[in-house]
Amino acid sequence: MIRNGATLFVGIGLPSAAANLARQTHAPETVLIYESGTIGSKPTALPLSIGDGELAETADAVIPIPEIFAYWLQGGRIDLGFLGARRSISTRTSTPL
């Protein structure tokens, strides 16, 4: 469960949906950071890509991408990361799911 006030590094798609659902329900003070450089984004609709204008328009700050990685990620300032979610199903009958 995402705790209120956590700082999340968020990817697009299911990770963004999960993070925004938490922000809109039980964790309204959660800080969402997208790899495009937006910090504190509060999108009203799920972004289609990291370049979606909704992220920058609703962000507390927009910073250079290298700073996201150097200061935030490598600096240990991220509590949790959701970068991708995928389910693979094998079409081969000899391979168990």
Catalytic residues: 35
Answer yes or no: are the C-beta atoms of 10 and 82 closer than 8 Å. Answer: yes
Maximal CA-CA distance, the chain: 51
**Would you state the structure tokens that stand for residue 86, as one six-digit string?**
């995928």
- Residue 26 identity: H
Answer yes or no: are the C-beta atoms of 80 and 6 closer than 8 Å. Answer: yes
Answer yes or no: are the C-beta atoms of 59 and 39 closer than 8 Å. Answer: yes
